[in-house]
Amino acid sequence: MQKVPVVYSDTFLTDYQTVDCECPDRVTEIYYDIEKMADFIAPQPCEESELTLCHTERLIEIVKKSDAHSAASLAAGGAITAAEIASVRPSFALIRPPGHHAGRDFNGGFCFFNNMAIAVMKLLNDGRAERVLIIDIDLHYGNGTEDIVHGDKRISFWNIDAATRDEFFRDLERAVRTATDFDMVGCSAGFDTYVKDWGGLLTTEDFRRIGGMIASSNRRFFSILEGGYYIPDLGRNVKAYLEGIEAG
Protein backbone atom coordinates (compact mmCIF):
# COMPACT_ATOMS: atom_id res chain seq x y z
CA MET A 1 0.00 0.00 0.00
CA GLN A 2 1.29 3.43 -0.94
CA LYS A 3 2.02 5.58 2.10
CA VAL A 4 0.23 8.87 2.81
CA PRO A 5 2.32 12.01 2.19
CA VAL A 6 2.49 13.75 5.59
CA VAL A 7 4.30 17.06 5.95
CA TYR A 8 6.10 17.17 9.30
CA SER A 9 9.04 18.67 11.18
CA ASP A 10 10.31 18.35 14.75
CA THR A 11 10.07 22.15 14.85
CA PHE A 12 6.35 21.67 15.43
CA LEU A 13 7.26 20.29 18.87
CA THR A 14 8.56 23.70 19.91
CA ASP A 15 7.18 24.68 23.31
CA TYR A 16 6.36 28.29 22.45
CA GLN A 17 4.13 30.47 24.60
CA THR A 18 0.47 29.55 24.09
CA VAL A 19 -2.39 27.96 26.06
CA ASP A 20 -1.73 24.66 27.82
CA CYS A 21 -4.06 22.60 25.62
CA GLU A 22 -2.24 23.58 22.40
CA CYS A 23 0.85 21.64 23.38
CA PRO A 24 3.56 19.63 21.56
CA ASP A 25 1.98 16.39 22.80
CA ARG A 26 -0.78 16.89 20.22
CA VAL A 27 1.71 16.43 17.40
CA THR A 28 3.64 13.66 19.15
CA GLU A 29 0.56 11.51 19.69
CA ILE A 30 -0.52 11.88 16.07
CA TYR A 31 2.99 11.16 14.79
CA TYR A 32 3.28 7.80 16.55
CA ASP A 33 -0.21 6.67 15.60
CA ILE A 34 0.26 7.37 11.89
CA GLU A 35 3.97 6.60 11.64
CA LYS A 36 3.59 3.28 9.83
CA MET A 37 1.22 4.63 7.19
CA ALA A 38 2.98 7.96 6.57
CA ASP A 39 5.66 9.11 4.18
CA PHE A 40 7.00 12.07 6.17
CA ILE A 41 8.09 15.07 4.11
CA ALA A 42 10.02 18.02 5.53
CA PRO A 43 8.66 21.51 4.81
CA GLN A 44 10.49 24.76 4.16
CA PRO A 45 9.68 27.98 6.07
CA CYS A 46 7.18 30.28 4.44
CA GLU A 47 8.74 33.21 2.60
CA GLU A 48 7.68 36.69 3.68
CA SER A 49 6.36 37.31 0.17
CA GLU A 50 4.05 34.33 0.69
CA LEU A 51 2.88 35.62 4.07
CA THR A 52 1.99 38.97 2.51
CA LEU A 53 -0.46 37.20 0.20
CA CYS A 54 -2.72 36.99 3.27
CA HIS A 55 -1.35 39.15 6.09
CA THR A 56 -0.41 42.76 6.69
CA GLU A 57 3.14 43.81 7.40
CA ARG A 58 1.99 44.88 10.86
CA LEU A 59 0.80 41.38 11.77
CA ILE A 60 3.89 39.72 10.32
CA GLU A 61 6.12 41.96 12.44
CA ILE A 62 4.13 41.12 15.58
CA VAL A 63 4.59 37.38 14.98
CA LYS A 64 8.29 37.87 14.23
CA LYS A 65 8.74 39.18 17.77
CA SER A 66 7.09 36.10 19.34
CA ASP A 67 8.78 32.85 20.33
CA ALA A 68 6.35 31.04 18.01
CA HIS A 69 7.72 32.69 14.87
CA SER A 70 9.91 29.82 13.63
CA ALA A 71 7.20 27.23 14.14
CA ALA A 72 4.49 29.47 12.67
CA SER A 73 6.54 30.24 9.54
CA LEU A 74 7.31 26.56 9.06
CA ALA A 75 3.67 25.60 9.62
CA ALA A 76 2.61 27.96 6.84
CA GLY A 77 5.35 26.53 4.64
CA GLY A 78 4.15 23.04 5.52
CA ALA A 79 0.63 23.89 4.38
CA ILE A 80 2.03 25.13 1.06
CA THR A 81 3.97 21.88 0.65
CA ALA A 82 0.85 19.80 1.33
CA ALA A 83 -1.13 21.83 -1.20
CA GLU A 84 1.53 21.33 -3.86
CA ILE A 85 1.65 17.56 -3.22
CA ALA A 86 -2.13 17.41 -3.61
CA SER A 87 -1.76 18.03 -7.34
CA VAL A 88 -0.55 14.41 -7.47
CA ARG A 89 -2.31 12.75 -4.52
CA PRO A 90 -4.08 13.63 -1.26
CA SER A 91 -1.78 14.84 1.53
CA PHE A 92 -1.87 15.85 5.17
CA ALA A 93 0.10 18.54 6.99
CA LEU A 94 0.91 17.55 10.58
CA ILE A 95 1.71 21.12 11.55
CA ARG A 96 1.55 23.35 14.59
CA PRO A 97 0.53 26.08 15.44
CA PRO A 98 -2.92 25.97 13.84
CA GLY A 99 -4.05 28.87 11.71
CA HIS A 100 -7.73 29.34 10.94
CA HIS A 101 -8.28 32.09 13.55
CA ALA A 102 -5.58 34.30 12.01
CA GLY A 103 -7.04 36.99 9.75
CA ARG A 104 -5.45 39.55 7.51
CA ASP A 105 -4.53 41.91 10.35
CA PHE A 106 -5.40 39.94 13.50
CA ASN A 107 -4.78 36.58 15.10
CA GLY A 108 -5.92 34.63 18.13
CA GLY A 109 -7.33 31.27 19.16
CA PHE A 110 -3.81 29.75 19.37
CA CYS A 111 -3.15 30.82 15.74
CA PHE A 112 -0.42 33.11 14.36
CA PHE A 113 -0.47 32.83 10.54
CA ASN A 114 -3.36 31.42 8.54
CA ASN A 115 -1.82 28.25 7.13
CA MET A 116 -4.78 27.29 4.94
CA ALA A 117 -5.33 30.72 3.42
CA ILE A 118 -1.62 31.11 2.66
CA ALA A 119 -1.48 27.70 0.96
CA VAL A 120 -4.56 28.42 -1.13
CA MET A 121 -3.41 31.89 -2.17
CA LYS A 122 -0.04 30.44 -3.13
CA LEU A 123 -1.74 27.80 -5.31
CA LEU A 124 -3.76 30.48 -7.07
CA ASN A 125 -0.82 32.88 -7.38
CA ASP A 126 1.37 30.18 -8.95
CA GLY A 127 -1.33 29.06 -11.40
CA ARG A 128 -1.60 25.58 -9.86
CA ALA A 129 -5.36 26.07 -9.45
CA GLU A 130 -8.02 28.47 -10.64
CA ARG A 131 -10.75 27.65 -8.13
CA VAL A 132 -10.32 26.20 -4.62
CA LEU A 133 -12.86 24.95 -2.09
CA ILE A 134 -11.95 25.23 1.61
CA ILE A 135 -13.89 23.01 4.01
CA ASP A 136 -13.37 23.73 7.71
CA ILE A 137 -14.47 20.84 9.97
CA ASP A 138 -13.05 22.29 13.19
CA LEU A 139 -15.43 22.87 16.10
CA HIS A 140 -14.71 26.60 16.01
CA TYR A 141 -15.56 28.95 13.17
CA GLY A 142 -12.64 29.74 10.88
CA ASN A 143 -13.07 33.48 11.28
CA GLY A 144 -9.54 34.26 10.15
CA THR A 145 -9.92 32.25 6.95
CA GLU A 146 -13.20 33.96 6.15
CA ASP A 147 -11.63 37.38 6.77
CA ILE A 148 -8.89 36.67 4.23
CA VAL A 149 -10.82 34.89 1.47
CA HIS A 150 -14.16 36.71 1.68
CA GLY A 151 -14.99 38.32 -1.65
CA ASP A 152 -12.42 36.34 -3.63
CA LYS A 153 -14.48 34.64 -6.34
CA ARG A 154 -11.78 32.03 -6.89
CA ILE A 155 -12.33 30.60 -3.40
CA SER A 156 -15.37 29.08 -1.72
CA PHE A 157 -15.19 28.79 2.07
CA TRP A 158 -17.51 26.25 3.68
CA ASN A 159 -17.39 26.15 7.47
CA ILE A 160 -19.19 23.11 8.91
CA ASP A 161 -21.19 24.50 11.83
CA ALA A 162 -23.48 22.01 13.55
CA ALA A 163 -25.06 21.39 16.93
CA THR A 164 -25.64 17.67 16.31
CA ARG A 165 -23.89 14.82 14.52
CA ASP A 166 -26.68 14.55 11.94
CA GLU A 167 -26.47 18.28 11.20
CA PHE A 168 -22.71 17.98 10.78
CA PHE A 169 -22.98 15.31 8.12
CA ARG A 170 -25.85 17.04 6.33
CA ASP A 171 -23.78 20.21 6.06
CA LEU A 172 -20.67 18.28 5.01
CA GLU A 173 -22.67 16.45 2.34
CA ARG A 174 -23.80 19.79 0.92
CA ALA A 175 -20.19 20.97 0.85
CA VAL A 176 -18.76 17.90 -0.88
CA ARG A 177 -21.48 17.97 -3.53
CA THR A 178 -19.85 21.17 -4.80
CA ALA A 179 -16.29 19.77 -4.79
CA THR A 180 -16.26 18.68 -8.43
CA ASP A 181 -16.60 22.34 -9.41
CA PHE A 182 -13.13 23.10 -8.02
CA ASP A 183 -9.55 22.34 -9.07
CA MET A 184 -8.49 21.67 -5.49
CA VAL A 185 -10.04 21.07 -2.07
CA GLY A 186 -8.35 22.06 1.19
CA CYS A 187 -9.64 20.85 4.54
CA SER A 188 -8.93 22.65 7.79
CA ALA A 189 -9.02 19.43 9.77
CA GLY A 190 -9.92 20.09 13.39
CA PHE A 191 -10.61 17.11 15.62
CA ASP A 192 -12.14 18.95 18.58
CA THR A 193 -15.63 17.88 17.46
CA TYR A 194 -14.75 14.45 18.93
CA VAL A 195 -17.15 12.98 21.50
CA LYS A 196 -14.56 13.26 24.29
CA ASP A 197 -13.29 16.68 23.19
CA TRP A 198 -14.96 20.09 23.53
CA GLY A 199 -17.47 19.47 20.73
CA GLY A 200 -18.85 16.15 21.94
CA LEU A 201 -20.24 15.21 18.49
CA LEU A 202 -18.20 12.76 16.44
CA THR A 203 -16.73 9.28 16.90
CA THR A 204 -13.45 7.94 15.57
CA GLU A 205 -15.35 6.15 12.81
CA ASP A 206 -16.99 9.45 11.88
CA PHE A 207 -13.57 10.92 11.10
CA ARG A 208 -12.93 7.96 8.80
CA ARG A 209 -16.23 8.74 7.07
CA ILE A 210 -15.34 12.44 6.73
CA GLY A 211 -12.01 11.68 5.07
CA GLY A 212 -13.66 9.28 2.66
CA MET A 213 -16.46 11.69 1.78
CA ILE A 214 -14.14 14.53 0.85
CA ALA A 215 -11.55 12.38 -0.93
CA SER A 216 -14.18 10.60 -3.03
CA SER A 217 -15.52 13.96 -4.21
CA ASN A 218 -12.16 15.34 -5.40
CA ARG A 219 -8.78 13.57 -5.26
CA ARG A 220 -6.89 16.86 -5.58
CA PHE A 221 -7.26 17.28 -1.86
CA PHE A 222 -5.05 18.32 1.05
CA SER A 223 -5.69 18.64 4.78
CA ILE A 224 -3.94 20.60 7.49
CA LEU A 225 -4.19 20.09 11.24
CA GLU A 226 -6.18 22.68 13.14
CA GLY A 227 -7.70 21.86 16.56
CA GLY A 228 -8.08 18.67 18.57
CA TYR A 229 -7.28 18.62 22.27
CA TYR A 230 -8.33 15.26 23.71
CA ILE A 231 -4.82 13.91 23.38
CA PRO A 232 -5.42 10.24 24.39
CA ASP A 233 -7.49 9.66 21.22
CA LEU A 234 -6.22 12.39 18.91
CA GLY A 235 -3.75 10.16 17.09
CA ARG A 236 -6.24 7.42 16.35
CA ASN A 237 -8.79 9.98 15.14
CA VAL A 238 -6.29 11.42 12.67
CA LYS A 239 -5.31 7.90 11.62
CA ALA A 240 -8.95 7.04 10.94
CA TYR A 241 -9.34 10.25 8.92
CA LEU A 242 -6.31 9.39 6.80
CA GLU A 243 -7.53 5.82 6.31
CA GLY A 244 -10.82 7.25 5.08
CA ILE A 245 -8.96 9.43 2.59
CA GLU A 246 -6.96 6.46 1.30
CA ALA A 247 -10.13 4.42 0.86
CA GLY A 248 -12.13 7.30 -0.64
User: Is 101 considered catalytic here?
Assistant: yes
Q: For residue 127, with 0-12 CB atoms within 10 Å meaning exposed, 13-18 middle and 19 or more buried, which class applies?
A: exposed
Residue 61: how many CB atoms within 10 A of its CB?
10
DSSP structure class, residue 86: T
Q: Tell me the H-state helices in the chain.
A: 24-34, 48-51, 57-64, 69-85, 115-125, 143-149, 165-177, 204-217, 231-247
Query: Residue 191 and residue 188: Cα distance in Å, rounded?
Result: 10
Q: Which of 55, 69, 100, 101 is catalytic?
A: 101
Q: CB within 8 A of 72, min separation 6: which ones?
A: 63, 66, 97, 112, 113
Tell me which residues are annotated as active site.
101
